[in-house]
């Protein structure tokens, strides 16, 4: 068994070999909490949640760090615009991100450090870089000298002579390509004391310092979105390696969620908030929609694509429900996933190919049901549950409420009670041969988005496609 991952730094798929046998250490650049999350933000968390789950299935002990950037230029700008404390905005949106991760079934990280809680570690790193000649102080700010680090820009494969660093609103650089690790205080901004004066962290320094604290001088995987390759990850590497850390062995980047071909972004006005989506779509369907394309493939957002995902997942849920009824109880997941599923997941987390195995197994199970082969149907369900568990999509998992078709909250129980009352009225109409009333009830339920299926064991309902 060998897991293989696409390494951005190598520009190819590589066999994964952990630094510590049996253990995997992952650092994921998490939320910058200037605003509530849209589905593009949450996609990254979902992709790396699936990676973590697969490593754990393969028997690894995973340490998963996902940071929170709770101070940066964007948060300070929001604070000025809204006339609110910066920490109030950060904390509110941090809770919104965590609610989004939880709603879509992401496992909590091993550690979730905030940038503002690690200023001492940042000071230590800056001091070491200044002593080694890789950084310098100017007017209370601290800058990294990019020409002092020969490996700079190897991740993004750029030429330093063509480089233009994003405008950081600071001055005093020796070279315009140098980037700020620490920004001197300005009136009204939050600040902390350092040997070079009061100020606040630069974005890139935060992650280098937190990765060092929680994962040590070397760790296995650093992850994030494609947009972070430059400047963020490039600058992280320069700081960490110039400080003396080996840093990450593998660099894994997920693609974006786009709308009309543009990266989803609040600044572009094309973002779809997670809080809005979970009011209109079942969270498990959103997870299916965002988590099942390959992590390196763009997802073009559309209502039609969401409806297709909903219909596809409904076919899986329908199979689960039918076998449970046939078996007369819950069927436990199999101890192992099918070999074809494992092969797909081992090959750079090939979720689309793995999902094809899920749907093939569902079709085999439905054929077994049609042939009244209970044993084969139950065996296929056990395999399906094992595969869905790895993807975080098992509808019988207590995270989603513990039953096929459930929403994971009290709403399903309320709806089920009401629908059962209506179905009882429909059965009473059928019993007295009042077919017009029975058909009218069924049509009304269908118009409400429910699919009614008559079976030998009585009618049952599922949520239909939108």
- Give per-residue pLDDT as tens, 249-291: 999 999 999 987 788 776 666 678 999 999 889 999 999 999 9
Q: Are residues 346 and 440 in the same domain?
A: no
| Residue 365 contacts residue 312 (beta carbons within 8 Å) | no
The answer as to whether 280 is a domain residue is: no
Q: Are residues 443 and 369 in the same domain?
A: no
The answer as to whether 337 is a domain residue is: yes
User: Which stretches within 83-146 are classed as H helix?
Assistant: 86-103, 119-131
What pLDDT, on the 0 to 100 scale, is given for residue 168? 61
Q: Which of 135, 109, 128 shows the shortest CA–CA distance to 53? A: 109
Q: Which of 391, 461, 440 shows the shortest CA–CA distance to 56? A: 391
As a whole number of angstroms, the distance between CA 63 and CA 27 comes to 9
C-alpha dist (Å) from residue 292 to 82, 121, 138, 306, 336: 37, 38, 48, 12, 20
The CATH number of the domain where 306 resides is what? 1.20.120.640
Confidence bin at 385 (pLDDT 50/70/90) = very high
Give the sign of the dihedral formed by CA 321, CA 327, CA 328, CA 332.
Answer: negative
- Percent of the chain clearing pLDDT 90 (strictly above): 78
As a whole number of angstroms, the distance between CA 278 and CA 380 comes to 30
In this predicted structure, the answer to whether residue 66 has a pLDDT above a threshold of 90 is yes
Q: Are residues 174 and 234 in the same domain?
A: yes
Do the bridges between strand 12-15 and strand 4-7 make them parallel or antiparallel, or are there none, so unpaired?
antiparallel
Question: Looking at the 3D structure of the chain, how many domains does it have?
Answer: 3
Specify the range with the lowest mean pLDDT, choosing from 73-82, 292-301, 321-330, 437-446: 437-446
Do the bridges between strand 257-259 and strand 262-263 make them parallel or antiparallel, or are there none, so unpaired?
antiparallel
Tell me the average pLDDT across 310-324.
94
Mean pLDDT of the chain: 91
The answer as to whether 275 is a domain residue is: no
The C-alpha R_g of the chain, in whole angstroms, comes to 26
The CATH number of the domain where 237 resides is what? 3.40.50.620
What pLDDT, on the 0 to 100 scale, is given for residue 307? 94
CB 262: neighbour CB atoms within 10 A?
11
Q: Are residues 328 and 225 in the same domain?
A: no
What pLDDT, on the 0 to 100 scale, is given for residue 415? 63
Q: In what order do the strands lie in the sheet with 61-69?
A: 61-69, 23-32, 218-225, 247-254
Tell me the average pLDDT across 77-87.
95
DSSP state letter for 217: S
The answer as to whether 9 is a domain residue is: yes
pLDDT tens digit string along 347-368?
Answer: 999 999 999 999 999 999 999 9
Comparing 163 with 376, which gets the higher pLDDT?
Answer: 376
Tell me the average pLDDT across 301-327.
94
Q: Are residues 40 and 145 in the same domain?
A: yes
In this predicted structure, the answer to whether residue 464 has a pLDDT above a threshold of 90 is no
What pLDDT, on the 0 to 100 scale, is given for residue 1? 79
Q: Which of 454, 461, 448, 378 shows the shortest CA–CA distance to 417? A: 461
Confidence bin at 408 (pLDDT 50/70/90) = very low
SS3 301: coil
Domain span at 457: 410-463
Residue that has been written with the tokens 């700079």 in this structure: 152
Q: Distance from first CA to last CA of the chain, Å, rounded?
A: 41
As a whole number of angstroms, the distance between CA 290 and CA 44 comes to 9
H/E stretch holding 143: strand 141-144
| Residue 379 contacts residue 388 (beta carbons within 8 Å) | no
The answer as to whether 292 is a domain residue is: no
């Amino acid at each position: 068994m060998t897991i293989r991952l696409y390494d951005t730094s190598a520009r190819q798929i590589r066999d994964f070999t952990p630094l510590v046998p049996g253990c995997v250490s992952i650092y994921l650049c998490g939320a910058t909490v200037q605003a509530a999350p849209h589905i593009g933000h949450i996609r990254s968390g979902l992709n790396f949640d699936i990676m973590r789950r697969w490593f754990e299935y393969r028997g690894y002990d995973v340490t998963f760090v996902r940071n929170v950037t709770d101070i940066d230029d964007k948060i300070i700008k929001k604070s000025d615009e809204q006339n609110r404390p910066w920490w109030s905005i950060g904390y509110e949106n941090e809770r919104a991100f965590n609610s989004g991760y939880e709603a879509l079934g992401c496992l909590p990280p091993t550690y979730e450090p905030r940038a503002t809680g690690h200023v001492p570690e940042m000071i230590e790193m800056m001091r070491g870089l200044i002593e080694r000649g890789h950084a310098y102080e100017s007017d209370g700010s601290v800058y990294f000298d990019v020409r002092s680090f020969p490996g700079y820009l190897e991740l993004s494969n750029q030429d330093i002579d063509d480089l233009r660093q994003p405008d950081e609103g600071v001055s005093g650089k020796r070279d315009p390509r140098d980037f700020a690790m620490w920004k001197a205080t300005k009136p009204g901004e939050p600040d902390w004391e350092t040997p070079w004066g009061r100020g606040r962290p630069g974005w890139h320094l935060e992650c280098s310092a937190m990765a060092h604290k929680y994962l040590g001088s070397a760790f296995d995987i650093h992850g994030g979105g494609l947009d972070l390759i430059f400047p963020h990850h490039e600058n992280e590497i320069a700081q960490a390696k110039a400080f003396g850390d080996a840093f990450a062995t593998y660099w894994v980047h997920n693609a974006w969620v786009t709308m009309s071909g543009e990266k989803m972004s609040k600044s572009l006005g094309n973002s779809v908030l997670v809080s809005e989506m979970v009011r209109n779509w079942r969270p498990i369907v959103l997870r299916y929609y965002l988590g099942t394309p390959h992590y390196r493939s763009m997802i073009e957002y559309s209502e039609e694509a969401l409806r297709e995902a909903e219909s596809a997942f409904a076919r899986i849920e329908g199979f689960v429900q039918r076998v449970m009824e046939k078996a007369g109880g819950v069927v436990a997941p199999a101890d192992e996933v099918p070999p074809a599923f494992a092969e797909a997941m081992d090959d750079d987390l090939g979720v689309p190919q793995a999902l094809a195995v899920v749907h093939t197994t569902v079709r085999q199970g439905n054929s077994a049901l049609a042939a009244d082969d209970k044993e084969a149907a139950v065996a296929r369900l056990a395999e399906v549950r094992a595969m869905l568990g790895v993807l975080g999509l098992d509808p019988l998992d207590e995270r989603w409420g513990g039953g096929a078709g459930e929403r994971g909250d009290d709403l399903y129980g309320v709806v089920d009670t009401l629908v059962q009352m209506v179905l009882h009225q429909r059965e009473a109409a059928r019993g007295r041969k009042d077919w017009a009333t029975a058909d009218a009830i069924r049509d009304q339920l269908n118009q409400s988005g429910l699919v009614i299926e008559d079976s030998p064991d009585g009618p049952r309902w599922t949520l239909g496609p939108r």
